[in-house]
């Protein structure tokens, strides 16, 4: 009997970071389990991580490079694939300039550093990510407000947790793993849940605030109103470390009395008051917020108001509050990405850079600006693209426009595991390696203070990890890279004094925890204070104070439209099985969730003759999609909650049913609906109608 080898590595089936022990026999991973020695996940592992073997060895996975021909997809060598892409990119650069090449990623696979370096050295200012509406948008808003991203400090036992539009037990997002939250909760922390839907956490909360989707910024200002009125703020911190407090107080008192906040948010005044008091008077307290607060026109303003709550109550950079974790000493992403190599004249050509200044500050382009440039040729045309680990035909707003734009590119290359609806539009397909097939200093872009050793467990087919693809393609474009992936990792680790081999054995590094750092050097903002009155936004000619803006497509702003589309569509409902548009072909996970689900209040379902399990049409001014009804009395009868990310890998035609149940057939990406400085797409708050699918 051949011995089973056990290899320690780090998962990346969703946001990543969980420790894994991979069991290898005969050169094949036969199972994975959680690593009890992981400092982040402590042995836990979610369904997505546990199913990695079914993804890695799936019969439909593409294991070699391919090119599209008149007869369909044809297998080619890596040399031919990379030479073809490099040749096309060189032609475009010569004829139209590097800015005519679009590169994009989704919610990354820990290749952000290599992605950005490739784009910067290519000379294109047009890099799209999910960041305009997911995580990077909160980083950007936090940087302008307090100089760094404040993550909740579960390690020091917060006594009160505000869970705002997030379910870490299912999503394990970014800095956090569900196990850390659950540990703090089980130790007795008070829990305030802010969510339009009464889910697992809301049922266990001390207070549940059933907010109208998209009105989180108004609710945050309502919290401030209570804290100011009842003088629950930290007077010493406010006096010494907040810039613009008096102007902010004036706005809160004038524009956000609790009766108005109740009218906007649908949350009763007494409940707002109770929640604000509980948060402000229970020390330490932390706010844990998620992407629903970012995917609206109020993206930047909510984050700034939320940071203001942390600051005003003295919970900023305080143990058990929201803290600025120290980096672990490796070279930073920005240093690796060589952002200074992008010439300033190219940077000034960034699509939407003048309009969405906060996105430009984070060196990313709001995708709508890219689609517009492809379809209209204004302000200049985009001719070629390279998309890595992303499926925008399914995952981006206004899906039909995305499909039309990508179809119009002269040349498109895609790197992924499977032929997704987006990959089917490509000219060249590059087979990416899963996290079982890569070496990397993982999580080196996060704000939790750790880096983790992800080490290659197996090689499968001809797949390459994305880091290697960027490097080898970059070399063909004349870029400066290291000889191997591991050489690049040695350079990342150099300041720590560790080699890659030594780091693999060590497993992880953690920055030394330090708190109240502002007492020594202030905050990393122009005034060295928390800027509730933003000097940066003021310099851009924008409103320097946080506020709430009514959602452009809501019953309040569009009563005329609400006559035909009377319900608020809250899309993006998470499940523990899928990561955005991924995993629909994984047997274990699809068995748990075989169909897309739309949750409807029983009263609403009765009005439309809909019963549990019926297929339902959801329709908006932009299109329609069908999902299977699930009745839920834990949502407001005026709200419809739908899943996103759906396509059908089992439909073998080239489009894989991308437009059947794709909720982004309904969503809006118009400039009028987006956050004015970040360009966050409005995915969460739109108007819709429902009807029973009579033909099903």
pLDDT at 286 over 90: yes
- Residue 489 in any domain: the answer is yes
pLDDT band at 169 (very low <50, low <70, confident <90, very high): confident
Domain assignment of residue 447, given as a range: 66-135+343-510
Residue 530 in domain: no
* Angle of CA points 45, 50, 51, to nearest 5°: 150
Nearest to 170 by CA among 648, 643, 661: 643
Mean pLDDT of 226-243: 98
Q: Rounded distance, CA 447 to CA 576, Å?
A: 23
How do the residues of the chain divide into helix, strand and coil, expressed in percent and rounded to 5?
Answer: 35, 20, 45
Asked if the structure places residue 18 within a domain, the reply is no
Q: Average pLDDT in the 277-288 region?
A: 98
Residue written as tokens 């829990």?
191
The string over 603-617, giving b where at least 16 C-beta atoms fall within 10 Å of a residue's C-beta and e elsewhere, is ebbeeeebeeebbbb
Rounded Cα distance between 303 and 300, Å, is: 5
pLDDT of 1 = 61
Looking up residue 567, the CATH number of its domain turns out to be 2.40.40.20
Whether the Cβ atoms of residue 317 and residue 513 lie closer than 8 Å to each other: no
pLDDT tens-digit map of 81-134: 999 999 999 999 999 999 999 999 998 678 999 999 999 999 999 999 988 999
Mean pLDDT of 421-425: 98
Q: How far apart are CA 197 and CA 284, in angstroms?
A: 27
- CA–CA separation, 131 vs 139, rounded Å? 9
pTM of the predicted protein model: 0.96
The answer to which of 1-5, 178-182, 194-198, 436-440 has the lowest mean pLDDT is: 1-5
C-alpha–C-alpha distance, residues 404 and 375, integer Å: 8
Q: Is residue 285 domain-shared with residue 429, that is, in the same domain?
A: no
If you average pLDDT over residues 570-595, what whole number do you get?
A: 93
Q: Do 250 and 154 share a structural domain?
A: yes
Name 68's bridge partners. 73
- For position 340, what pLDDT does the model report? 85
User: What is the percentage of the chain residues whose pLDDT exceeds 90?
Assistant: 92
Q: By the 8 A CB rule, do 32 and 53 touch?
A: yes
Token digits for 152?
């909740």
SS3 letters across 523-537: CCCCCCCEECCCHHH
Q: How much is the pLDDT for 177? A: 85
**278 and 165 within one domain:** yes
Q: Considering only CA atoms, which of 244, 203, 196 is closest in space to residue 224? A: 244
19-25 vs 28-34, strand pairing mode: antiparallel
Residues 393 and 455 grouped into a single domain: yes
Q: How far is CA 451 from CA 20, 139, 362, 491, in A?
A: 15, 19, 22, 14
> What angle in degrees, to the nearest 10, is found between the helix axes of 78-96 and 466-476?
60
> What CATH number should be reported for the domain holding residue 265?
3.40.228.10
Name the β-bridge partners of 453.
441
CA distance 293 to 563: 26
Quote the CA–CA distance of 459 and 551 in Å, as a whole number: 48
Distance (Å, whole) CA 475 – CA 479: 5
Of 109 and 295, the one with more pLDDT? 295
Whether residues 162 and 81 fall in one domain: no
The verdict on 108 and 252 lying in the same domain is no
Q: Which of 289, 249, 318 is nearest to 164 (CA)?
A: 289
Kindly write down the DSSP assignment for every residue of 103-117, as one continuous string: EEESS-SS-HHHHHH
Average of per-residue pLDDT across 427-446: 96
Angle at CA of residue 654, ends 653 and 655, nearest 5°: 95
Q: Does residue 131 sit in the same domain as residue 153?
A: no
If asked whether residues 278 and 386 sit together in one domain, one would say no
| Count of Cβ atoms closer than 10 Å to residue 562 Cβ | 18
b/e burial code for range 227-263 (CB count within 10 A of at least 16 → b):
bbeeebbbeebbeebbbbbeebbebbeeebebebbbe
The whole-number pLDDT of residue 572 equals 86
Q: How far apart are CA 130 and CA 680, in angstroms?
A: 9
Q: pLDDT band for 334, please (50, 70, 90 cuts).
A: confident
Where residue 437 falls among pLDDT bands split at 50, 70, 90? very high
For the segment 542-546, the average pLDDT, to the nearest whole number, is 98
**Both 425 and 291 in a single domain?**
no
What's the CATH number where 418 sits? 3.40.50.740
The SS3 call for residue 121 is: helix
> Is there a domain that residue 53 lies in?
no
| pLDDT confidence of residue 111 | 92
Let me know whether 431 and 468 are in one domain. Answer: yes
Would residue 428 count as lying in a domain?
yes
379 cis-preceded (ω within 30 degrees of 0): yes
Beta carbons of 413 and 428 less than 8 angstroms apart: yes
CA-to-CA distance for 121 and 98, rounded, in angstroms?
10
684 pLDDT above the threshold of 90? no
Neighbours of 215 (CB within 10 A): 26
Q: In what order do the strands lie in the sheet with 411-416?
A: 72-75, 66-69, 428-431, 411-416, 384-388, 101-105, 127-128
Query: Does residue 386 contact residue 104 with C-beta atoms inside 8 Å?
Result: yes
Write the DSSP symbol of residue 545: S
Where is the domain boundary, 257, 289, 323?
Answer: 323
Distance CA 437, CA 456 (A): 5
User: Is the CB of residue 44 less than 8 Å from the CB of residue 37?
Assistant: no
Count structural domains, the chain: 3
Order of all β-strands in the sheet with 5-10: 5-10, 19-25, 28-34
pLDDT at site 696? 59
Q: How far is CA 98 from CA 346, 405, 452, in A?
A: 8, 19, 34
**CA dist., res. 170 & res. 589, Å (int):** 13
Cβ atoms of residues 354 and 319 within 8 Å:
no
What Rg, from alpha-carbon coordinates, does the chain have? 24
Residues 305 and 374 in one domain: no
Same domain as 222, residue 198: yes
Residue 400 lies in a domain: yes
Q: Is residue 8, in this structure, part of any structural domain at all? A: no
pLDDT mean over 550-570: 97
pLDDT number for residue 323: 97
Tell how many helices (H) and how many strands (E) occur in the chain. Answer: 27, 27
Going by C-alpha positions, the residue among 109, 182, 62 that lies closest to residue 443 is 109
Average pLDDT estimate for 147-154: 95
* Torsional sign, CA 403, 409, 411, 415: negative
| Mean pLDDT (the chain, rounded) | 96
Flag whether 548 is in a domain.
no
**Could you tell me the CA-to-CA distances from 431 to 168, 263, 428, 468, 471 in Å, in that order?**
31, 52, 10, 11, 15
What is the reported pLDDT for 352? Answer: 96
Bridge partner list, 598: 629, 642
């Amino acid at each position: 009997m051949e011995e089973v080898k056990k290899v320690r590595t780090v998962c990346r089936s969703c946001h990543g970071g969980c420790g894994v022990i991979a069991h290898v026999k005969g050169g094949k991973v036969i199972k994975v389990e959680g690593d009890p020695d992981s400092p982040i996940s402590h042995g836990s592992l979610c369904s997505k991580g546990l199913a990695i073997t079914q993804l890695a060895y799936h019969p439909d996975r593409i294991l070699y490079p391919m090119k599209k021909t008149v007869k369909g997809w044809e297998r080619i060598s890596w040399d031919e694939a990379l030479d073809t892409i490099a040749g096309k990119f060189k032609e475009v650069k010569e004829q139209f300039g590097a800015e005519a090449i679009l590169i994009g990623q989704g919610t990354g696979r820990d290749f952000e550093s290599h992605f950005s370096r490739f784009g910067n050295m290519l000379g294109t200012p047009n890099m799209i990510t999910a960041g305009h509406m997911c995580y990077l948008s909160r980083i950007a808003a936090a940087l302008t407000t307090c100089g760094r991203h404040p993550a909740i400090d579960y390690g020091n036992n917060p006594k009160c947790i505000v869970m705002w539009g997030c379910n870490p037990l299912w999503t394990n997002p970014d800095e956090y793993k569900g196990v850390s939250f659950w540990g703090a909760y089980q130790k007795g922390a008070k829990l305030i849940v802010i969510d339009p839907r009464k889910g697992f956490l809301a049922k266990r909360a001390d207070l549940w605030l059933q907010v109208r989707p998209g009105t989180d910024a108004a609710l945050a200002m309502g919290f401030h109103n209570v804290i100011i009125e009842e003088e629950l703020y930290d007077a010493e911190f406010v006096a010494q470390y907040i810039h613009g407090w008096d102007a902010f107080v004036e706005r809160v008192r004038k524009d956000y009395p609790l009766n108005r906040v109740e009218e906007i948010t649908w949350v009763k005044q007494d409940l707002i008051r109770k929640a604000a008091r509980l948060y402000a008077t229970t020390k330490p307290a932390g706010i844990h917020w998620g992407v629903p607060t970012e995917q609206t026109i109020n993206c930047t303003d909510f984050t700034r108001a939320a940071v203001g709550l942390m600051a005003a109550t003295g919970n900023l950079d305080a143990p058990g509050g929201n803290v600025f974790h120290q980096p672990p000493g490796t070279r930073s992403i920005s240093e690796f990405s060589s952002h200074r190599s992008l010439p300033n004249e190219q940077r000034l050509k960034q699509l939407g850079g003048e309009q969405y200044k906060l996105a430009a500050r984070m060196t990313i382009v709001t995708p709508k600006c890219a689609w517009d440039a492809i379809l209209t040729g204004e302000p200049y045309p985009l001719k070629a693209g390279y998309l890595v680990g992303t499926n925008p035909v399914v995952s981006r707003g206004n899906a039909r426009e995305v499909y039309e734009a990508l179809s119009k590119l002269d040349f498109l290359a895609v790197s992924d595991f499977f032929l997704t609806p987006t990959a089917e539009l490509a000219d060249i397909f590059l087979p990416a390696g899963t996290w079982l097939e890569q070496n990397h200093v993982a999580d080196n872009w996060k704000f939790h203070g750790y880096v983790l050793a992800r080490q290659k467990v197996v090689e499968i087919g001809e797949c390459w990890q994305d880091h290697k693809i960027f490097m080898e393609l970059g070399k063909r474009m004349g870029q400066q890279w290291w000889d191997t992936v591991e050489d690049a990792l040695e350079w990342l680790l150099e300041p720590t004094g560790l080699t890659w081999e030594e780091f693999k054995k060590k497993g992880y590094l953690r920055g030394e925890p330090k708190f109240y750092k502002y007492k020594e050097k202030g905050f990393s903002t122009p005034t060295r204070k928390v800027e509730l009155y933003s000097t940066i936004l003021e310099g851009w000619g924008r409103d320097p104070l946080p506020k709430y803006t009514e959602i452009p497509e809501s019953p309040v702003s569009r009563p005329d439209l609400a006559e035909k589309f009377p319900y608020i569509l809250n899309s993006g409902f998470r499940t523990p099985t899928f990561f955005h548009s991924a995993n629909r072909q994984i047997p274990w996970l699809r068995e748990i969730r075989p169909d897309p689900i739309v949750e409807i209040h029983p009263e609403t379902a009765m009005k439309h003759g809909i019963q549990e399990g019926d297929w339902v049409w959801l329709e908006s001014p932009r299109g329609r999609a069908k999902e299977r009804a699930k009745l839920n009395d834990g949502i407001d009868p005026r709200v419809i909650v739908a899943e996103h990310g759906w396509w059908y890998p089992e439909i073998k035609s080239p489009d894989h049913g991308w437009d059947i149940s794709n909720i982004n057939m309904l969503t809006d990406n118009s400039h009028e609906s987006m956050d004015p400085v970040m360009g966050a797409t409005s995915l969460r708050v739109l108007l819709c109608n429902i009807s029973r699918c009579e033909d099903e």
